[in-house]
Amino acid sequence: GQSLEQPSEVTAVEGAIVQINCTYQTSGFYGLSWYQQHDGGAPTFLSYNALDGLEETGRFSSFLSRSDSYGYLLLQELQMKDSASYFCAVRDLGAGNTPLVFGKGTRLSVIA
């Protein structure tokens, strides 16, 4: 089986930095993905980490530690448009062989 844990809500100030953590348990590990979803919108792919370390894409970075079964998404220079839900996701090779299992999501609110 698999499980992903991430905080349900985070609030941060415009221009600041916020980190959204994700811990996972899964049968076999093939990397950690992050998705963003605005209210009423579709999830959009942000990043993928297969190996330990930090991956940077503009204002967003994603980190993975396989030994700790832990990753995080780092958002810098927060903008109001970053207010959205953020999901971590892993592939599960257990009984379900699920291509991607999503966490319950972290709702980020960016305030002025």
Partner 1 sequence: DSGVTQTPKHLITATGQRVTLRCSPRSGDLSVYWYQQSLDQGLQFLIQYYNGEERAKGNILERFSAQQFPDLHSELNLSSLELGDSALYFCASSVGGDGYSYEQYFGPGTRLTVT
What does the binding site for partner 1 look like in residue numbers (CB under 8 A)? 30-31, 33, 41-45, 48, 50, 87, 89, 91, 96-105
Buried b (16+ CB within 10 A) or exposed e, 80-106: eebbbbbbbbbbbeeeeebeebbbebb
Nearer to partner 1, 16 or 38 (CB): 38
Nearer to partner 1, 21 or 43 (CB): 43
Rounded least distance, CB 15 to partner 1, Å: 29
Nearer to partner 1, 29 or 70 (CB): 29
Using alpha carbons, select from 103, 91, 106 the residue that is nearest to residue 12. Answer: 106
Rounded least distance, CB 13 to partner 1, Å: 27
CA distance 5 to 112: 28
Rounded least distance, CB 78 to partner 1, Å: 24
Question: How many C-beta atoms lie closer than 10 Å to residue 38's C-beta?
Answer: 13
Distance from the Cα of residue 31 to its chain's centroid = 12
Nearer to partner 1, 14 or 56 (CB): 56
